[in-house]
Amino acid sequence: MERLLIIGGVAAGTKVAAKAKRENPDLEVTVLTREEYVSYAGCGLPYFIGDVIKDKNEIIIKTPESLKKELDINILTLHEVLKIIPEEKKVIAINKVNDEKVEIMYDKLVIATGASPVIPEIPGISLKRIFTLRTVSDALVIKSLIDAGRVKRALIVGGGFIGLEMAENLYRRGIEVTIIEHSKYILPGFDPEIALIAQKYLAKKGIKILTEEKVISFNGNEKGEVTSVITDKRSIETDFVLWSAGVKPNIELAKDAGIEIGETGAIRVNEYLETSIEDIYGVGDCVEMRHLITGKPVWYPMGSTANKMGRVAAINVAHSEKKEIFSGVLGTAIIKLFELKAAKTGLTEKEALKEGYEVETVLVPSNDLSHYYPGNKTIIIKMIADRKTHRILGAQIIGEGVIDKPIDIIVTAMSLKARIEDLAKMDFAYAPPFSMAMSSVIVTSNVMLNKLYGKLHGISPMQLKDKLEEDIQILDTRSEAEFVVSSIPNSINIPFDQLRHRALELDKEKETVIVCKIGKRAYLAYITLKKLGFKNIKILDGGITAYPFDLV
């Protein structure tokens, strides 16, 4: 009987175990995990803490008992692996309960050791009530502390996905939340204009966000509990800290065994998910993957990717012939922040420029449903394309409307190497409760095509912000009523339908930026001014709706 040994029992590890057993019931499958719990939904932990998910058993998908009973899989929990000895096809582990050493032989080994939070060595970091959140055990401790009413003010270090999801969930528990982020914007992996929209939204909700600020040290009380954090700018009192500034792949075991580590710092695997040593596979958060756009190795630890990799590795280890391949990822991610949602896939504008593409971008507000159907909400799509091939390089979507549908449409299109022209003609499902007649993805693609074919020139909010001090004229074509509510500093209001008669009020020679609510009236004004001989005109991408800077 062939022996399959798996190190790691969360998403990827248990997926390999269960699928391999279904593929080949004759396999002897053993899972070693240093944790107490297996097969849990790590991504659900913030919602468990926030009481959105009431019972911890809801996020524990399988127990060792159920995996044994249903699939005859052996799970050894609280077993820390000390060493992999590939020459002898053997793994040495220690039972953390009784400190006994065990040696387990394998025919095939799968490394699914996951990732861990990066914790810096700064003064006070070992104080009580400074947490990271990665495992069920972490979540149980944090939740019991909150349930006991002992957290009033929480400080979150790191404005990435876990930090932001925890911000929402702590806030929901009645806790005052401050986020400290060392970079200029929260939401790493997003372009600034999108991140800024999220930042403004969270601030309005009452979450304090401090960017470009660095934690120096922590102070504690006599019980050894954290009481304040010292940053490079100030001191902040707190009774709870979540350190969520980065994670790193758990590669030590693999490295010690002589397995090749990739340039991203994660374990290198080929498309069959084999490591550099025969009969040893790697899956999940501890391995790197290929980026489907650039072809380069990247490291995006994601539960969804772990599951897919687990299935691929399982099929390959379960049969004598390996067949399944895992071709790569787009770096897709999505987050809910109260009613706001943000998603990304592929390259950001910055990354695309760095990769040397001839980049074109659009920023298009639209509705998720028909504008006349109740409950419709605005979303803003930023799309990044390659001018040469018209291929989609990336997209980011933000708004209170439905964003997971358009991002997944774009993911599908990008994976299949679609051009913008393809995307603009898709026969999407349309009825008023589900979509606009021209769906948001189609509208966005059409604006992109207008740009790619030179029908209009745009200027991004970031570029306009930088030009505000220069000698340009900003023409706001909205109605007077809209204009008086809020407008970009120093802009001139000529409502679109008066433009033909009042164009003389403008200077034909000056660089002119046209602004409206979302871009439609600006496009009409653009055509009018072009016909009137204006040379240097641009439309503000995304209009006032997507402009994340100060209005007057």
Q: Out of 59, 133, 154, 385, name the contact with its own copies by CB under 8 A.
A: 59
* Contact flag: residue 334 with its own copies (CB under 8 A): yes
* Contact flag: residue 432 with its own copies (CB under 8 A): yes
Who's near 122: CB < 8 A, 6+ residues apart?
A: 215, 216, 217, 218
Pairing mode, strands 79-85 and 491-493 = unpaired
* Contact flag: residue 4 with its own copies (CB under 8 A): no
Q: Distance of alpha carbon 162 from its chain centroid, rounded?
A: 10
* Contact flag: residue 418 with its own copies (CB under 8 A): yes
Pick 412 or 486: Cβ nearer its own copies: 412
Pick 363 or 392: Cβ nearer its own copies: 392
DSSP E strand boundaries for 347-501: 359-367, 378-386, 392-399, 458-459, 473-476, 491-493
Burial class (CB in 10 A: 0-12, 13-18, 19+), 379: buried
Q: Where are the alpha helices (DSSP H) in 240-302?
A: 252-256
* Contact flag: residue 102 with its own copies (CB under 8 A): no
CA distance 114 to 116: 7
Site for its own copies in 31-50 (CB under 8 A): 41, 43-44, 47
* Contact flag: residue 11 with its own copies (CB under 8 A): yes
CA angle at residue 142 from 140 to 146, to 5 degrees? 115
Pick 408 or 482: Cβ nearer its own copies: 408
* Contact flag: residue 270 with its own copies (CB under 8 A): no
Pick 93 or 423: Cβ nearer its own copies: 423
CA distance 131 to 114: 18
Query: SS3 of 43, please?
Result: helix
CA distance 14 to 17: 5
The tokens describing 111, both together, are 């490394």
- Residue 372 CB, nearest approach to its own copies (Å): 4
- Residue 371 CB, nearest approach to its own copies (Å): 8
* Contact flag: residue 326 with its own copies (CB under 8 A): yes
Site for its own copies in 68-87 (CB under 8 A): 69-71
Q: Out of 250, 294, 435, 487, name the contact with its own copies by CB under 8 A.
A: 435
Site for its own copies in 473-502 (CB under 8 A): 496-497
Pick 59 or 245: Cβ nearer its own copies: 59
* Contact flag: residue 345 with its own copies (CB under 8 A): yes
Q: Out of 248, 336, 467, 510, name the contact with its own copies by CB under 8 A.
A: 336
Strand order in the sheet with 241-243: 130-131, 241-243, 153-157, 176-181, 208-211
- Residue 293 CB, nearest approach to its own copies (Å): 11
Buried b / exposed e along 398-421 (16+ C-beta atoms within 10 A): bbebbbebbbebbbebbbeebbbe
Pick 396 or 487: Cβ nearer its own copies: 396
- Residue 15 CB, nearest approach to its own copies (Å): 9
Q: How many CA atoms lie within 13 A of 313 on its CB side?
A: 34
* Contact flag: residue 549 with its own copies (CB under 8 A): no
Pick 53 or 277: Cβ nearer its own copies: 53
CA distance 43 to 160: 13
Which part of the chain contacts its own copies (CB under 8 A), choosing from 20-28, 95-103, 191-199, 349-357?
Answer: 20-28
- Residue 341 CB, nearest approach to its own copies (Å): 8
Q: Out of 30, 132, 439, 512, name the contact with its own copies by CB under 8 A.
A: 439
* Contact flag: residue 199 with its own copies (CB under 8 A): no
* Contact flag: residue 429 with its own copies (CB under 8 A): yes
Count of CB atoms situated within 10 Å of the CB of 425: 10
For residue 379, give the amino acid letter: I
Pick 272 or 434: Cβ nearer its own copies: 434
* Contact flag: residue 53 with its own copies (CB under 8 A): yes
Please identify every residue annotated as catalytic: 43
CA distance 546 to 200: 12
* Contact flag: residue 145 with its own copies (CB under 8 A): no
Pick 356 or 374: Cβ nearer its own copies: 374
Closest CA to 167 of 184, 151, 154: 154
* Contact flag: residue 464 with its own copies (CB under 8 A): no
Kindly write out the interface string for residues 228-267 of this chain, putting x where it contacts its own copies by CB under 8 A and - elsewhere: ----------------------------------------
8 Å CB contact between 259 and 276: yes
* Contact flag: residue 535 with its own copies (CB under 8 A): no
- Residue 283 CB, nearest approach to its own copies (Å): 14
Kindly write out the interface string for residues 350-389 of this chain, putting x where it contacts its own copies by CB under 8 A and - elsewhere: --------------------x-xxx---------------
- Residue 313 CB, nearest approach to its own copies (Å): 13
* Contact flag: residue 430 with its own copies (CB under 8 A): yes
Pick 259 or 343: Cβ nearer its own copies: 343
* Contact flag: residue 471 with its own copies (CB under 8 A): no
Closest CA to 74 of 27, 133, 132, 24: 27
* Contact flag: residue 431 with its own copies (CB under 8 A): yes
- Residue 413 CB, nearest approach to its own copies (Å): 5
* Contact flag: residue 427 with its own copies (CB under 8 A): yes
Pairing mode, strands 101-105 and 215-220 = unpaired
The tokens describing 294, both together, are 């650039």
* Backbone Cα Rg of the chain: 27
In total, the chain counts a number of residues equal to: 552
Burial class (CB in 10 A: 0-12, 13-18, 19+), 120: exposed
Q: Out of 14, 305, 367, 512, name the contact with its own copies by CB under 8 A.
A: 305
DSSP symbols for 328-384: -B---EEEEETTEEEEEEE--HHHHHHTT--EEEEEEEEESS-TTSTT--EEEEEEE
